[in-house]
């Protein structure tokens, strides 16, 4: 099916989606067009990938079947207002802004709307894209979105009320996991004297290998722990430390991200 995909915003997320859609086989370059308020960014991604350049947001929206808004949360409504004449009921609008609910998107357009929160891991065609469909989306719309984001990872359909918690667990998590690797390596340097660059390298390579083991079908985290942490052994002692102390850190992480989501919903006074 020859679908025309227009991406507004070619910052890190927009550019990542363009590369991943092409790499994952979701679309070929001629099917993708991009617009950006900074011409240099638009020109650069077009030169890199062979996609089409749109002169402006209105031109892009007029010629695309699927319009993906890859702009910051404060810019979502202004961009929708800019292209309001092009956002007709036969268009499918996808927003990747973290705290703009489907209801707000629907209030500004007759287009069918979908909310998607991808992960940076989609750059490697891995990870999860969270999807919330509006009630107006047709089965064909759902098929298109699931096909598009299924080519760059695992699409998971959720409800609007689940979005905040699921975002912490998926799209935010690569930064959390990377921070854990960094702190694990830093502890090795503090406690044992291993040079920091070597500790970082060892921890990173082991983390990558652990992820590959967890990709094996029917392998759970508990399975992997039991394989490595033999009863009464050295690893088991460390697992006990994590089981005892780490849950409080994770609880605070979810509490802190929930507070931040609330601040975005309710305004600066919540900060």
- Main-chain dihedrals φ then ψ at residue 133, nearest 5 degrees: -95, 140
11 in a labelled binding site: yes
50 in a labelled binding site: no
8 in a labelled binding site: yes
Domain ranges for the chain: 5-159, 173-264
90 in a labelled binding site: no
211 in a labelled binding site: no
Protein fold of 5-159 = Rossmann fold (3.40.50)
Q: How many Å apart are CA 243 and CA 63, to the nearest integer?
A: 54
Protein fold of 173-264 = ProC C-terminal domain-like fold (1.10.3730)
3-state secondary structure of 98: coil
66 in a labelled binding site: no
Is it the case that residue 134 has pLDDT exceeding 70?
Answer: yes
221-232: per-residue pLDDT in tens?
A: 999 999 999 999
Q: How many Å apart are CA 249 and CA 228, to the nearest integer?
A: 23
134 in a labelled binding site: no
Single pTM value for the model: 0.91
65-116: per-residue pLDDT in tens?
A: 999 999 999 999 999 999 999 999 999 999 999 889 999 999 999 999 999 9
């Amino acid at each position: 099916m020859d679908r025309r995909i227009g991406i507004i915003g070619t910052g890190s997320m927009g550019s990542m989606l363009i590369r991943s859609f092409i790499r994952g086989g979701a679309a070929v370059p001629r099917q993708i067009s991009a617009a950006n308020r900074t011409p240099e960014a638009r020109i650069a991604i077009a030169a890199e990938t062979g996609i089409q350049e749109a002169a402006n947001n209105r031109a892009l929206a007029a010629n695309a079947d699927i319009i993906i808004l890859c702009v910051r949360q404060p810019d979502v409504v202004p961009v929708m207002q800019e292209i309001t004449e092009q956002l007709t009921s036969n268009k499918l609008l996808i927003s990747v802004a973290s705290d703009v609910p489907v209801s707000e998107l629907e209030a500004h357009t007759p287009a069918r709307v979908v909310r998607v929160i991808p992960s940076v891991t989609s750059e490697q065609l891995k990870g999860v894209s969270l999807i919330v469909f509006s009630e107006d989306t047709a089965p064909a719309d759902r098929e298109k979105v699931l096909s598009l984001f299924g080519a760059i990872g695992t699409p998971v359909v959720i409800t609007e009320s689940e979005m905040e918690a699921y975002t912490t667990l998926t799209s935010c998590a690569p930064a959390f996991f990377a921070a854990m690797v960094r702190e694990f390596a830093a502890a090795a340097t503090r406690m044992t004297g291993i040079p920091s660059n070597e500790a970082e390298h060892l921890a990173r390579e082991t983390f990558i290998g652990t992820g590959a083991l967890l990709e094996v079908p029917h392998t759970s985290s508990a399975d992997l722990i039991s394989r490595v942490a033999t009863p009464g052994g050295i690893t088991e002692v460390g697992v006990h430390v994590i089981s005892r102390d780490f849950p409080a850190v994770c609880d605070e992480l979810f509490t802190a991200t929930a507070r931040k989501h609330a601040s975005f919903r309710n305004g600066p006074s919540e900060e």
